[in-house]
Amino acid sequence: MRDRSWSIVAKLVLAGIAVEVVMLTLLLFFNIRTMDRQLAGQLDTRLAEVRQLLDASLAVPLVQRDFGTLQDVLDALRRDKGIEYLVLVDHAGREMARSAWPAPTGERYDTEVAITIAGRVYGTLRLGVSTAFFVEARRSLLTTGALIAAIEVLLSTLILSGIGYWLTRRLRAVASTAEALAAGDLTARVEGATGGDEIDRLGRGFNVMADRLGDRLRDLREAGEALREREDDMRSVLDNLPSMIGYWDKDLRNRFGNHAYATWFGIDPAGMAGKHIREIIGEERYRLNMPYIDGALRGEPQLFERAIPAPDGRLRHSLAHYIPDVVDGAVASSWSPTSRRSKRPSGR
């Protein structure tokens, strides 16, 4: 199955990009808010200037009902001040002059200005100031900000990828060495771990661990070889004994039998391992020996005599020992050495 986990470099780059995208988004958001406040301030300043100009240029013609002058003033204002429409009404709400018609929708700011002389209101001018410059400035800021952000993210990706590769190349060396050791190459070591940073200390510590592991494995291998030699020697000794030597676990399954079993029962000792004692000595002898077996399992050594038919039909008289193997106070298994008696015992 393919490993779909991401490398450290990929995780580092993605984490860096995620942080940078969040920071750039916040920066762009606050820049837009700042620009909105500044443009709104400019719009208020512009309207204040327009109000002063309107009072000066419309009040007298409005009082005199000079419609021609009123129309000329409105047209001039609409052309010069970025105003989309102007509608002048008197104090009774009657329309006195108009310059253009307001569109149903548009990028504008609708407001009203009272036309006064000496504090007395003679009419109201309704106008819509274009905010196209406002929208265009925001759009320009968004476009420029997005372009700068994209370039910055691209540069950051390249820089972080380079930094990540530089930081993790030695970690990859440690990982490769670990994989080589796991594959059985006990000579694999991390090369060049001579610096003082964390990765070099990790590499040196890994090399020390690998050296100790190699020493331990060599010791175990030598101990295993020595143990096998001792087992071979022990088996050779036991196989040359005329007595049967068997070893049985607490479930009465065989764990060892010497070559004498071939002579006494015609059984290959190599095939005895794992078999129940009933399969080896037969049902009748198993029933007869069961009291002695139970005694051995209770931790009590047993000694008894038994006549055992040989494969050729002759009876062989034996003296059997069941010796419990007690481990931590419990019977784990038992030895069953059985030797041939020189003559048939009487009364048995």
What is the tens place of the pLDDT at every residue in 139-195?
A: 887 788 788 888 888 888 888 788 777 777 777 888 888 888 888 787 888 887 777
Cα 344 from Cα 64, distance rounded (Å): 159
Is the per-residue pLDDT at 333 higher than 60? no
For domain 241-340, give the CATH number: 3.30.450.20
Query: Residue 339 in contact with residue 242, Cβ under 8 Å?
Result: yes
**pLDDT band at residue 345, thresholds of 50, 70 and 90?**
very low
Segment holding 55, helix H or strand E: helix 8-64
For the chain, the average pLDDT equals: 80
Write out the two tokens for 217: 């494995």
Domain ranges of the chain: 1-186, 189-240, 241-340
Distances (CA, A) of 21 to 16, 143, 164, 348: 9, 16, 19, 98
CB contact set of 339 (below 8 Å; sequence gap of 6+): 242, 243, 244, 318, 319
From the CA atom positions of the chain, what is the Rg in Å? 53
CB burial string 280-293: b at 16+ within 10 A, e below: bbeeebbeebeebb
Residue 188 CB coordination number (10 Å):
19
Lowest mean pLDDT among 257-261, 298-302, 319-323, 339-343: 339-343
